[in-house]
Amino acid sequence: MCGSCWAFSATGALEGQHSRKLGTLVYVNTLIVFLILFSSLSEQNLIDCTKGEPYGNMGCNGGLMDNAFQYIEDNKGVDTETSYPYKAKNGKKCLFKRSNVGATDSGYVDLPAGDEDKLKIAVATQGPISVAIDAGHRSFQLYTHGVYDEEACNPDNLDHGVLVVGYGKDDIHGDYWIVKNSWGEHWGENGYIRMSRNKDNQCGIASKASYPLV
């Protein structure tokens, strides 16, 4: 099993930033979401090419989205998914090819730690945001539908990278975030989870949030 959630979060955020230039901001009732129209970027590129120094990621053993954003800036790009497909394992070497670059960034922005209001503004104005959460509970792993509300979540125990793509309000369960996971469409609500919003930064949803600049 490859712990590459951080790479999926990073590529998703960068895809979203590029999509803002081509896509549309969509309002559906109380929801606000971005349609991601940009072509897919290579998670494997990030897994293989940010291991160790100077970026400090550990491939399938974990990593940080900001480190990935920094690599993409320094490298002047990340390859497309088609040219550098996902293997779900560490590659023996970095196989980046400049001719296959799909996108680049010029740095990244870290949002104020723990501030859900600032996260909401960023989602509405900037698009999908990379976040790290506490996903170590069985309730998260077995989530199927509804608004996820786990009181045992620790906002400082961040062990999983995901992508906040929108937010909304449920008549019964209240405010929530729309979060894209990287465990496939058969998990959760077609690969997404609605996580409690405005509940003291539950699961650390706003503890470590960032997005790349394009």
Residue 39 contacts residue 23 (beta carbons within 8 Å): no
Which tens digit of pLDDT belongs to each residue from 19-46? 887 654 444 444 545 454 556 899 999 9
- Examine the residue annotation and report whether 181 is marked as an active-site residue of this protein: yes
pLDDT at position 72 is 98
Domain residue ranges of the chain, discontinuous segments joined by +: 5-212
Arithmetic mean of pLDDT, 164-187: 97
Which tens digit of pLDDT belongs to each residue from 51-89? 999 999 999 999 999 999 999 999 999 999 999 999 999
Arithmetic mean of pLDDT, 159-177: 97
Using 50, 70 and 90 to split pLDDT, how confident is the model at 18? confident
Largest CA distance in the chain: 51
Residue 80 pairs in a beta bridge with 41
Question: Which among 45, 57, 67, 181 is annotated as catalytic?
Answer: 181
Distance CA 1, CA 13 (A): 23
Which tens digit of pLDDT belongs to each residue from 84-140? 999 999 999 999 999 999 999 999 999 999 999 999 999 999 999 999 999 999 999
pLDDT at position 23 is 58
Question: Which among 5, 49, 60, 203 is annotated as catalytic?
Answer: 5
- Examine the residue annotation and report whether 186 is marked as an active-site residue of this protein: no
Q: Which long-range contacts (CB under 8 A, 24 or more apart) does 26-35 make?
A: 29/168, 30/168, 30/169, 31/166, 31/167, 31/168, 31/178, 32/123, 32/124, 32/166, 32/167, 32/168, 33/165, 33/166, 33/178, 34/127, 34/128, 34/165, 34/166
Q: What is the pTM of this model?
A: 0.91
Question: Which among 60, 160, 201, 203 is annotated as catalytic?
Answer: 160
Arithmetic mean of pLDDT, 143-160: 98
- So what's the architecture of 5-212 in CATH? Alpha-Beta Complex (3.90)
User: Kind of pairing, strands 129-133 and 209-212?
Assistant: antiparallel
Q: Is 46 helix (H, G, I), strand (E, B) or coil?
A: helix
- The torsion angles phi and psi of 123, rounded to 5 degrees, stand at -60, -40
- Examine the residue annotation and report whether 173 is marked as an active-site residue of this protein: no
